[in-house]
Amino acid sequence: MTSALLPHEAVVVDRKDETPEMFSLRLRFTDPEVQAGYRFSLGQFNMLCLPGMGEVPISIVSDPEDRQTIDHTIRQVGSLTRNLGRLEIGDRLGLRGPYGRGWPAASAEGTDLVIVTGGLGCAPAVSLIEFALRRRSRYGRLHIVQGVKHAHDLIWRERYDAWRQHPDVEVYLTADTGDTLWPWHLGPVTQFFDRIDIDPTRCSVFLCGPEGMMKAVIREMDRRRVPARRIWLSMERNMHCALGACGRCQLGAKFVCRDGPVFSWAELAPYLAHQGI
Ligand SMILES: Cc1cc2nc3c(=O)[nH]c(=O)nc-3n(C[C@H](O)[C@H](O)[C@H](O)COP(=O)(O)OP(=O)(O)OC[C@H]3O[C@@H](n4cnc5c(N)ncnc54)[C@H](O)[C@@H]3O)c2cc1C
Ligand code: FES
């Protein structure tokens, strides 16, 4: 019998440096049977494990229909992520997952998507955008709003340029502090909502980033009468088991690892209201 806590061995089949701090790893299980049986849904995460060091939750950014490899984009913030950043093609690591509940891609079909992200390269939102663009006829208009603190925090500039070439896709980029080479907007992400034609009866709102930013967007959506059940947030908490067993990621009566990381605002409001969100 194998334990749900026991990782399977995976190998790095490709890697790409996105910025000095961020990198992407393309992984494949070394056991072909494990790879063949691996299924995930959009917005779920894996636990990546370095033997003797520990493990970290990381979102899956590849397409759920790609059964050959598993992609992750990682920012180096501490010891584990820095050591993952040293992995080269051919190196091995442990992987267990997938875990959690991801974005409700099916229930958003037929609606306009408003995707608002904040901070440095929000991996779960990128996977959602790529997913919707590959299945363009299933969704209405896409409004992509990305905010960063400083102009130099924006990564994946070429992706935003590529996304805005698609019909019915609008991309808004904004920074709290710009520089001479910043051609877009200055100010909070909420400034764009007066320009976006939001029909509260046929839109789905997806949020990923700092909780303060998500709180501000939720207030705007509430003003426009978007129902709380059509607003989705991807949450982050420190994790240990990822199985709903240790309580490390508890949020009221919910566990972010098991019941999330994606929650509707209707579910989260009772727990986060008293924390100020
Ligand atoms: C569901 C989920 C999905 C994630 N997806 C990604 C992803 O796709 N790419 C990515 O780069 N990161 C992702 N993260 C965050 C990632 O797990 C943490 O950055 C990582 O655990 C840090 O480990 P470390 O040992 O390198 O740093 P540590 O030394 O553990 O921490 C460094 C700093 O980051 C803070 N921190 C650590 N983990 C978290 C967390 N979960 N939430 C908030 N603050 C934290 C610590 O308090 C500390 O200040 C995700 C987290 C969750 C919960
Ligand atoms: S990480 Fe253990 S309960 Fe969520």
- Helices 123-134/157-164 angle, 10° precision: 30
Query: Could you tell me if 261 and 249 are in contact, meaning their C-beta atoms sit under 8 angstroms apart?
Result: no
The tens digit of pLDDT for each residue in 41-57 reads 999 999 999 999 999 99
pLDDT of 202 > 90? The answer is yes
pLDDT at 233 over 50: yes
Residue of 46, 47, 236, 240 to test ligand 2 pocket, by largest number of atoms within 8 Å of CB: 240
pLDDT for 276 beyond 60: no
Q: Three-state SS for 205?
A: strand
Q: What is the pLDDT of residue 148?
A: 81
Residue spans of the domains in the chain: they are 8-99, 112-275
**Is the minimum distance from the CB of 183 to ligand 2 under 6 angstroms?**
no
User: Does position 178 have pLDDT exceeding 80, yes or no?
Assistant: no
Long-range contacts of 163-167 (CB under 8 A, 24+ apart): 163/129, 163/133, 166/133, 166/136, 166/142
> How confident is the model at residue 120, as a pLDDT?
66
With a cut of 80, say whether residue 33 has pLDDT above it.
yes
> What ligand 1 atom has the least distance to the C-alpha of 60?
8
Write down the residue that tokens 């180096």 correspond to: 76
d(CA 18, CA 102) in angstroms, rounded, equals 24
> pLDDT at residue 220 above 80?
yes
Phi, psi of 25 (to 5 degrees): -115, 135
Lowest-confidence range among 166-170, 189-193, 196-200, 230-234?
189-193
The model's pLDDT over 63-119, given as tens digits with 9 standing for 90+, comes to 999 889 999 999 999 999 999 999 999 999 999 999 999 999 999 999 999 999 987
Q: Whose CA is nearest to atom 19 of ligand 1?
A: 77
Task: Name the CATH architecture for the domain at 8-99.
Answer: Beta Barrel (2.40)
For the cut 90, the answer to whether the pLDDT of residue 1 exceeds it is no
Model confidence at 2, pLDDT cuts 50, 70, 90, reads: low
Q: Which pLDDT band, with edges at 50, 70 and 90, does 273 fall under?
A: low
Give Rg (Cα) of the chain.
19
Q: For residues 160 and 258, which has the higher predicted lDDT (pLDDT)? A: 258
CATH 3.40.50.300 assigned to domain 112-275? The reply is: no
Residue 272's pLDDT is 74
Instruction: Using pLDDT thresholds of 50, 70 and 90, give the confidence band for residue 159.
Output: confident
Q: What is the mean pLDDT of the chain?
A: 89
Atom of ligand 2 nearest to the CA of 244: 3
90 lines ligand 2 (CB under 6 A): no
Mean pLDDT of 178-195: 77
CA of 57 to the centre of ligand 2 (A): 11
Evaluate if residue 30 carries a pLDDT over 90. yes
Q: What is the spatial distance between Cα 107 and Cα 187, in angstroms, rounded to a whole number?
A: 32
Residues within a 6 A CB radius of ligand 1: 45, 56-59, 73-75, 77-81, 123, 236-239, 261
Confidence of residue 176 (pLDDT cuts 50, 70, 90): confident
- Quick check: CB of 257 below 6 Å from ligand 2? yes
So what's the pLDDT on residue 41?
93
| C-alpha 254 to ligand 2 mean position (Å) | 10
pLDDT of the residue at 160: 85
Ligand 1 centre and the CA of 238: distance in Å?
A: 7
pLDDT of residue 267: 94
